[in-house]
Amino acid sequence: FTQQKKFSIFWLFFKSRSLNAYFKMSVLDYECLFNEFQENDEWDEYFNAMDKSDVEQELIAKSNAVNDEERPQKEYLEVLQRVFGHKSFRPMQWKIISSIINDRRDNCSIMATGYGKSLCFQYPSVYLGGVTIIISPLISLMEDQVLSMKMSNISACLLGSAQTKQKEVIDEIFEEKYNLVYMTPEFSCGDYGQGLIKRIDDAVSLILIAIDEAHCVSSWGHDFRYQYRELGKLRDLLPTVPILAVTATATHQVRGDIISTLKLRNPQILCSGFDRPNLQFIVYIKGNGLMSDLKKVMIEKNNSWSLPGSTIIYCITRKQTEDIANQVNSIKGMKCLAYHAGMSVKQRSQAHEQFAKDKIKIIVATIAFGMGIDKPDVRNIIHYGASKDLESYYQEVGRAGRDGLPSKCITFYNSADFDMHQ
């Protein structure tokens, strides 16, 4: 570490310990304080954090840099315009797509919400012909993406418990009617799913395996979705098919876990950066109750209250979700639905659909709603209670302002919230 870094961190340490008395300190006092600082284990953590930050900034700069040799040729842009309606790739998008198409290389990519990670796994099989298999955590998310692809005249389907015409769809896969096939981890890791994937590779050109929301490999794989830890089977089953792991959030440690678990080989590691300049972050200490708190962000007109634009209110527990939804519905002018894992699939699906289609403007939800929504015009993310950790918070606020327009991320919290996560 450079002397400048050491001095900077020591100065913070010095101010925190001796700000009121530093004018009266002797040289010996400074020496003793510096020795105390070096014996404190925390200083190594500070140095390591700064070093990792430097490495991350270098990775972000490298990921977003483009030279003339890397620019896409005309035929790639023609397909992009004709099929996806875009005139150009973003720098990271093209680096990923080019490495898959031209080098058949594995990738681990961290992209800020709204950057366009879906295009990275949708484009290769559309351009080359053949099939991409996409492993996704939530049925509602897969249904959204399949619907979106069909609206864009891109052939896509999903396999799993939500597919009522599974035999028919599988037959159509072998008739080469689909470029994109969505599956859950449970389906892809089961004996039947593994056999089907191998048959697809043998009979149809399998271009890519994409693991969407890849942070779940680490976070959920150690918890209740153990199948995420088994996705490395796909590398053993298909050793020559490139694998793309994409997520909007992954720490350095989680990134390493993803690469190891999925058995990625010499992966290209890219990171777009995490700055979302269109988001405004606001934090309040909880006051005397929900209504008094929400009034700080609501708009009153003709004795009726509203929130400006589509809004997700995140809560810590299912009970809190139900209670707050009832309170919001009791406010004149406000209408919302609850969403949490304790509800039936049908109830969750109906709430999701009504919110996505603007039939209601407010959803009160636990984090179960986090990855299940791909609505670009969410204007407010309100946390009524602190998130579990910073990584979870970033994932949750990632739902806001995906269209690039100004949006707000508002947190109401007190110290008791942190105890609830213990």
Q: Which residues contact 96 (CB under 8 A, 6 or more apart)?
A: 107, 109, 120, 244, 268, 270
DSSP string, 191-226: HHHHHHHHHHHHHS-EEEEEETTTTHHHHTTTTT-G
- List of domains in the chain: 48-271 (3.40.50.300), 279-420 (3.40.50.300)
Burial 320-332 (b: 16+ CB within 10 A, else e): bbbebbebbeebe
pLDDT tier at 3 (50, 70, 90 boundaries)?
Answer: very low
pLDDT at 20: 46
Matching residue, tokens 């599988």: 170
Q: Lowest mean pLDDT: which of 181-185, 340-344, 369-373?
A: 369-373
Write out the H or E segment, with its range, that includes residue 174. helix 166-174
Beta carbons of 355 and 375 less than 8 angstroms apart: yes
Q: What is the pTM of this model?
A: 0.69
Q: What does the longest C-alpha to C-alpha distance in the chain come to?
A: 83
- Residue 373's SS3 state is coil
- pLDDT mean over 248-276: 86
Place of tokens 């991320």: 409
- Cα(247)–Cα(234) distance, integer angstroms: 19
A 10 A CB-CB count for 271 gives 23
Q: What is the pLDDT of residues 362-372, one digit of tens each?
A: 999 887 676 65
Asked if residue 178 lies in contact with residue 155, where contact means CB atoms within 8 angstroms, the answer is: yes
pLDDT in tens, 272-325: 877 788 999 999 999 888 888 988 998 888 888 888 899 999 998 899 999 999
Q: Which residues, 6 or more positions from 383, have their beta carbon under 8 angstroms from its beta carbon? A: 313, 314, 393, 396, 409, 410, 411, 412, 413
Using a 10 angstrom Cβ sphere, with 0-12 exposed, 13-18 middle and 19 or more buried, the burial of residue 50 is middle
Give me the residue label for tokens 């609850």: 338
Share of the chain above pLDDT 70, in %: 79
